[in-house]
């Protein structure tokens, strides 16, 4: 009897296939048709057999469309299994985990209720922006770190006296773990962000420890790249060598990739939680290990 059936949403077909292979599971793809008015119609390529079903669908732009597709697939999967696990490699709306300004909707709380309402029995996310968001899920929820897989990639590179850098204090623990696995040191930049305008400025003092070293800027996600660009420009002035960027989720909205490269970054390395030019690190293994 098949232990798992993996269903891949349109946003995560490649990752879902890789996961199915790792689990030696049956794989079912979903076919998406978009009507002129923007509505989506989803069709399963085959009927799932009785087993635990794993639905894989990232919620990246177009966020709302991918979210609705994800919920729809889970809802359909529930017709074939009482145990449907949602693997959400990139969880959209995870940054909206508290009421920062009066009157703001805590959207991740709304999404958590939706997953429970449609019958998901468990949710697995990768490097969610803030663990605070997981507390809203009233079903089993697990956050998996992709840091170990990213480090494996950087171990293959010929780096000169590598130093890991967190672009802000919020990512300190991530940078610390990255540095521990890479067997090197890390530093944390101090920055200030205006909550209303979104503008960022670095307030760190001169950093002598970066002189002549290859730096790895580590973050959980890159959206417009503003923080990474500011950090790179600052670090280049401190006379470092090359600057690499390592992140789990590379949204790279608009022309962010070009802007980041222009600021002096040698390479952007991200995982396949979001498909793209920089998505060269596969996370299917860490997800499979979590499920087995």
Q: Which residues are catalytic?
A: 191
Contacts (Cβ under 8 Å, ≥6 apart) of 258:
none
DSSP 157: S
Distance CA 32, CA 29 (A): 10
Distance CA 191, CA 217 (A): 14
Beta bridge partners of 123: 86, 141
Tokens of 271: 């995982």
Which three-class secondary structure state does DSSP give residue 236? helix
How would you write 178-233 as a 3-class SS string? HHHHHCCEEEECCEEECCCCCCEEECCCCCHHHCCCCEEEEEEEECCCHHHHHHHH
Distance CA 273, CA 244 (A): 19
DSSP 12: G
Burial (CB count <10 Å: 0-12, 13-18, 19+), residue 169: exposed
SS3 content of the chain, % helix, strand, coil (to 5): 35, 25, 40
Please write down the long-range contacts of 135-143, taking CB distance under 8 Å and 24 or more positions apart: 136/97, 136/106, 136/108, 136/109, 136/112, 137/112, 138/112, 138/113, 139/115, 142/290
């Amino acid at each position: 009897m098949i232990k798992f059936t993996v269903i891949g949403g349109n946003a995560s077909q490649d990752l879902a296939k890789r996961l199915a292979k790792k689990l030696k599971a049956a794989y079912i793809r979903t076919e998406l048709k978009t009507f002129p008015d923007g509505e989506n119609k989803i069709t399963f390529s085959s009927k799932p057999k009785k087993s635990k079903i794993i639905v894989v669908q990232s919620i990246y732009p177009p966020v709302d469309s991918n979210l609705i597709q994800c919920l729809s697939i889970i809802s359909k999967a529930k017709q074939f299994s009482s145990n449907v696990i949602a693997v959400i490699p990139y969880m959209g709306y995870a940054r909206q985990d508290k009421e920062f300004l009066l009157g703001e909707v805590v959207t991740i709380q709304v999404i958590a209720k939706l997953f429970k309402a449609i019958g998901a029995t468990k949710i697995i996310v990768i490097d969610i922006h803030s663990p605070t968001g997981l507390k809203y899920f009233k079903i089993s929820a697990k956050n998996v770190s992709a840091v170990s897989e990213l480090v494996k990639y950087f171990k293959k590179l010929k780096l000169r006296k590598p130093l890991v850098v967190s672009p802000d204090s919020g990512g300190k623990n991530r940078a610390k773990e990255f540095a521990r696995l890479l067997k090197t040191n890390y530093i944390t930049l101090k920055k200030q962000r205006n909550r209303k305008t979104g503008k960022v400025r670095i307030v760190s003092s001169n950093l002598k420890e970066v002189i002549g070293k290859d730096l790895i800027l580590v973050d959980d996600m890159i959206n417009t790249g503003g923080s990474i660009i500011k950090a790179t420009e600052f670090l280049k002035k401190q006379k470092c060598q090359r600057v690499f960027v390592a992140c789990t989720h590379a949204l790279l909205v608009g022309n962010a990739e070009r802007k980041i490269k222009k600021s002096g970054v040698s390479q952007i390395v991200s995982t396949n939680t979001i498909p793209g030019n920089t998505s060269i690190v596969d996370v299917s293994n860490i997800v499979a290990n979590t499920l087995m």
